[in-house]
Structure 1
Amino acid sequence: MEDREQPDSSPRQPARPARSRHRRGFGPAGLWMVLGGAVIVLLLVYGAGRLFDAASPGADPEPSASRDPSPGIDGVIARDVPAGQLLVGDCLNDFGGPLGTATVVTCRTPHTSQLIGLEALPEGGYPGDDRATELAEQACKAITLSPAAALSGSWNYEFSRPSRATWEAGDRGVACFLTLTEGRSSDSLLPAEGPAA
């Protein structure tokens, strides 16, 4: 008996010719993809640099306001002074609120606001927003004002206070301002400093 191969009855696919998928050059779509990727990388590098600059200790994003030691007839000492650069006793016009900018003028120059004090809230855990506001207001109202200051008109206390985030970073500061709701004052609200004893 001879062994014969039985013909394979399973269906077979005929061989297909190989096709090359090789492209030459990028073409317009490839060029746009490369340019888009480069722009994304540049934006990421720029964003990381901005974050690093903002988180760097000692980074001062605001330039220091230049004060005129001899103001002219307009009484302007400095314009657009950031809140963090105001000094206790500064009399202010164009007051932008406790965290805004202001124009510092001599206190003999008609003005609408004055930074009357910088206080600190007690150490400990964050007291919560309402309690922090209450403590800040109490600290500002405890500041001694000049009995000679003409408190005519309606004055409001305005102040900044720490938020939970700034508290956790060590901030306990309160900046206290008095602001006229109408009119202007030409006096300091703070007592004159006496001679050193």
Structure 2
Amino acid sequence: MNNQDVPPKPGSPPPAPAPESVSWSQPQTETEGARRKPVTKKRAFWIALFVVVLLAVIGGLVWLALWLNSGQGAPEAGEETPGVLETTITPPASPLPLPREGVTPAEYALGDCFADFDPEALASKVVPCDAPHSAQLVAVFRYPEDGAYPGAEELKAKALEACQAAKLGPAANEYQLNYQRSFPSDSSWDSGDRRVDCYVTAPGGNVINASVLP
């Protein structure tokens, strides 16, 4: 028999005193939203990327539709507008003798010089180019007689091309000159007006005393 002392078994702890009052509540259950898996950063990135791509595709389709609509009736890139560009004087010009009063725009000839020029006037005074004048017709583009009215914007652009193609001589450097364009309206087009004109004009009035063409 083991003579070693065996420690007595520990006694049960005394019961804890009951609280003065106890309140009970039902255990809170997780809501449906709380049970859902949180959206990860990777998943959010792909969602955002999809939205951006979708908006870009929609925007591209809208832009393409607007571009195609605005380009209706305009010549395609690289397609030349039918017609004749005149930048070199080919006789006869306005008939002699000069000056001549009451010359209508349909009678203007390349190289004609005009005193007191008004591009909106129904008639002008054509004078010799060595006499004082304020404008000279330096380029003309003529559309075909059977062509449909191309619209004001194309006519403006064609008039600008005519001015850019105009060949000026040394006398042009002696004056302060501006380019001025003239083109038919839809009503004058219906009346047979098919020409686009480019003039050089002097803002100071009848100060030019020579032809500015070569």
Q: TM-score, normalised by structure 1?
A: 0.50
Give the direction of change, closer, same or farther, for the CA distance of 1:79–1:164 in structure 2 (3 Å limit). closer
Give the direction of change, closer, same or farther, for the CA distance of 1:149–1:126 in structure 2 (3 Å limit). same
- Counterpart CA distance in 2 for 1:99 and 1:182 is 19
1:136 maps onto 2:163 in alignment: no
- Counterpart CA distance in 2 for 1:88 and 1:106 is 13
Give the direction of change, closer, same or farther, for the CA distance of 1:179–1:164 in structure 2 (3 Å limit). same
How far residue 161 of structure 1 moved from its aligned partner, in angstroms, is: 1.6
Given that residues 161 and 173 in structure 1 are in contact (C-alpha distance below 8 angstroms), is that contact kept between their aligned partners in structure 2? yes
Structure 2: any 5+ residue segments left out of the alignment?
A: 1-93
Structure 1: any 5+ residue segments left out of the alignment?
A: 1-65, 70-75, 192-197
Aligned length: 119
Given that residues 139 and 165 in structure 2 are in contact (C-alpha distance below 8 angstroms), is that contact kept between their aligned partners in structure 1? no
- Counterpart CA distance in 1 for 2:182 and 2:162 is 11
Given that residues 99 and 160 in structure 1 are in contact (C-alpha distance below 8 angstroms), is that contact kept between their aligned partners in structure 2? no
How far residue 140 of structure 1 moved from its aligned partner, in angstroms, is: 2.3
- Counterpart CA distance in 2 for 1:98 and 1:153 is 23
User: Percent of aligned positions with the same letter in both sequences?
Assistant: 36
Written as runs of structure 1 = structure 2, the 5 A alignment for 1:1-197 is 68-69=96-97, 76-97=98-119, 99-121=121-143, 126-146=149-169, 148-167=170-189, 171-183=193-205, 184-191=207-214
Report Cα offsets for 1:14-51 as digits up to 9, x if no partner: xxxxxxxxxxxxxxxxxxxxxxxxxxxxxxxxxxxxxx
How far residue 125 of structure 1 moved from its aligned partner, in angstroms, is: 5.5
One-letter amino acid of the structure 2 residue matched with residue 82 of structure 1: T
One-letter amino acid of the structure 2 residue matched with residue 90 of structure 1: D
Tell me the C-alpha RMSD between the 2 structures: 2.8
- Counterpart CA distance in 2 for 1:170 and 1:110 is 32
Give the direction of change, closer, same or farther, for the CA distance of 1:178–1:131 in structure 2 (3 Å limit). same
Larger Rg: 2
Q: TM-score, normalised by structure 2?
A: 0.47
Give the direction of change, closer, same or farther, for the CA distance of 1:90–1:168 in structure 2 (3 Å limit). closer
Given that residues 153 and 181 in structure 1 are in contact (C-alpha distance below 8 angstroms), is that contact kept between their aligned partners in structure 2? no
The aligned counterpart of 2:68 is none
